Amino acid sequence: MYICSANLYTLNFYLKMLSLDRLKYIEGIQKYARFSVVTTIAIAIVVLTIFIVNQTVIKEKTLSDIPSSPFFSVIIITLLLYCFVFYRIKKRTKRLQELIEQMTEEEFQFLLQAQSSLSFYYKYAPTFVICCDRLYLFTLFEIKEIDPKKVEKVAYHYARGGSFLVEIQSPETTKFEVYTSAYPYLERLIRKYNPNADIEVYKL
């Protein structure tokens, strides 16, 4: 009990040390995570319900017949995919919050500027952040840390939904998604650390 109380006191003290803007942004990240989790669960339930209704009502099968259906394996794969999404959301949220807590004030203000024009769904889900002079890229399967001074080339390809598929060579190539309105900030960030980098300029 004493240990838990001590940890809670330390957490409360640490949170008080953060600026109001950071606390507000962290709260936004947590709301976004809850929204994403609820959405994922809701979709999984809908897919499962549709499958069961299709098998039991339309095809007049019993529940015991469902596991032998060829579509059952598809449902299992779908549910596993949603579990993976849930795990990624949780891991991403925890890491992003840690980075925001560790950022300098200049780095945090840069994050706010880069995300300012985005809607709620994207505002609290940055695909790149700078923290303690290290660049963190949030890809589909991992969070990659690179030295921005070693970035050699940046190129982009058009993707759906107002975003780019960006390739960064540092010297390994990393592909990740960047919102079109945030890409100029990535350009500026890389040029700050490596003025000689070959960066494809976004033209409106």
Q: Is the pLDDT of residue 103 over 50?
A: yes
Q: Which helix (H) or strand (E) holds 115?
A: helix 105-115
Cα–Cα distance for residue pair 27/4, rounded to 1 Å: 23
Give pLDDT tens digits for 10-25. 444 455 467 888 999 9
Cα–Cα dist 141/139, whole Å: 6
* CB crowding 84-122: b at 16 or more within 10 Å, else e: ebbebbeebbeebbebbbebeeebbebbeebbeebeeeb
Residue 190 confidence (pLDDT):
96
Binned at pLDDT 50, 70 and 90, residue 6 comes out as very low
pTM: 0.78
